[in-house]
Amino acid sequence: MVEKKWKGNFTVEAAILASALLFIVYGIIMALFYYHDKNILTGTTYETAVIAGRKQKRESPFSEEEVKQLWRERISGKMILFRKAEVEIRCHKEYVSILAQASRKKLRITASAKAALTEPEDRIRSIRKQKDAVIPEN
């Protein structure tokens, strides 16, 4: 009768394999959370810049504090991994510039957006007026 020498061989291999698989799954989940927060930060930064840029030309301009408040309303409760985000806003005559960043331990994400102060409706109206002013040929 042959006696088996290594009885716990499968148990050790399964423990190593299970821990490696859990580590990989954890890494994938953290990467998904990272890219989710990066997309949220980029989207809210750009959206706030566009909204602030459009209002600057139409009505009385936003103050930098009002734009910060608008940005905070848009980002509140949406980030998963990075809970604390900071923003720096500059309102110029021709554009609005927003720089946002969030960090957690050694990880850091940044997003920046600029929006020109434009009035596309005025341009469209002027083109329509020019088309209406042209006398059609018979």
Could you read off the pLDDT of 104-116 as tens digits, one per residue? Answer: 988 899 999 988 8
Q: Tell me the range of 59-68, 91-100, 113-122 where mean pLDDT is highest.
A: 91-100
Tell me the whole-structure pTM to 2 decimals.
0.72
Q: Which residue has the higher pLDDT, 66 or 100?
A: 100
Determine contact, residues 96/117, Cβ cutoff 8 Å: yes
| Domain limits, the chain | 10-134
Beta strands 107-116 and 85-91 are unpaired
Average pLDDT, the chain: 83
Max Cα-Cα span within the chain: 111
Amino acid letter at 57?
K
pLDDT one-digit tens code per residue, 42-55: 999 999 888 887 76
- The tokens of 67 are what? 């734009």
Q: Is 50 exposed, middle or buried (0-12, 13-18, 19+ CB in 10 A)?
A: middle
Q: Is the pLDDT of residue 82 over 70?
A: yes
Band of residue 17 on the pLDDT scale cut at 50, 70, 90: very high
* Residue 107 dihedral angles phi and psi, to the nearest 5°: -85, 140
Instruction: Indicate the pLDDT class of residue 129, thresholds 50, 70 and 90.
Output: confident
